[in-house]
Structure 1
Amino acid sequence: VLLATDAAPAPSAIQPSVAAPSVAATPLSPSQTTVPTVAAVPSATTAALSNEPVQVVDSVPVATDARTDTPGSAPPMPKMQLTTSNVAEVFATALRGVQQMTASIASMAEVRLESESKINLVFPAESSMSMKRMDLPEHRGPVCEAISNVVGRPITLQLIAGAASPARTAAPKPAPKATAKERMERMREIEAHPWVQSCVETFGAEIVKVDPKQ
């Protein structure tokens, strides 16, 4: 006896059949190898900068021949050769670069060249005070430096006390002039002299001048 029922079969008894899609694998040649394309997406910072206006600044040329000399600087003076004949000229040139008081004291001395690196300053005996002042560092040092700058090498100074100046002979005093009374008395003495009277009587001479007594 077969009984017909509407009940569904148990799940385990149902075997669904799923067909997998058919994919045909086609190999690619080396020339057909694809490279993924990456699109650059601008960031927010890049987009903000791209909207800013660009200001072009002209370049300033750099001077390559700029002078380093300070304004008003004079070229160095040529050095003078120190010799016996021009030592006074060298000394006078050097004194132009020192203070006026120092130059006045140094100019009291006579300049003599002792050697290639030494100059003698001979002060008169009556200028001993000037010699002492010249020996002070504030006067002697600047003069040595000034002379060294003029000749281009170190120069030393030697201070020497000179001999006393020769005494001047006093000029003879003029004889005092005789008064009118003395001249008249002198005239009478001469007229009364026997020799004078003899000359007057013999030659007709006349007294014209009477010299004062020596």
Structure 2
Amino acid sequence: MGIDYNKRPGPASPGSVSLSKVTLTKATPTVSLSKQGGGGRLHVNLNWNQNPGGGAPQKGGFLKRVLGAAGGGTDLDLAALFELSDGRAGVVQALGDAFGSFDGPPYIHLDADDRTGATAGGENLYVNLAQVAQIRRVLVFAFIYEGVASFDQADAVVTLTPAQGAPIEVRLDEKAGGARMCAIALLTNTGGDFSVSREVRYVSGHRELDQAYGWGLNWTAGRK
């Protein structure tokens, strides 16, 4: 029987994976990566729009847009706390040159550090979903390293794109106050499932973030 390529596809059958974007909200804060197929890599991107009220977004990286390109040593970082199944724990971040590893522990890699705010693609990290059995949990977060910026004024959005299934979006739309750090999403391995949960929780720094999520790390001052 021939295939009619002009025929519009009907509704997705039960159990099929929709490729439309999934937005995590307070009402629906969690989605299963395992049910979307698993495997491959999870691409986590943090990006911003300085002109949420309308019109074309300004070009350039986040802080260049947030501060109107007014310059001068301002730096936003994407990062992740990790806990492996064998109990090892730590952080992947540009601070301290802890960029991680995709193929070996902790199976999380930060691709680069945009210190100037000039990169239009924001900042990116990658989680090796082929190694989820080795991962207990991952907390994706972002913080202001230098300069002054407010997450809730930047129309910030995080997109987590698995190798299979729909991209997962988390908007940082809660009021940030004076906090310089935001817990964005928590990836959790429960044994039978690997899920992503929206957090959007603002704290003042690394120690407060650790305390809020019970990571138990010893923190010292560091520089890039």
Q: What TM-score comes out, normalization by structure 2 length?
A: 0.23
Structure possessing the higher relative contact order (Cα contacts under 8 Å, 6 or more residues apart): 2
The structure with more helix, counted as a fraction of residues: 1
User: Scaled by the length of structure 1, what TM-score is found?
Assistant: 0.24
Return the structure number with greater strand share: 2
Larger radius of gyration: 1
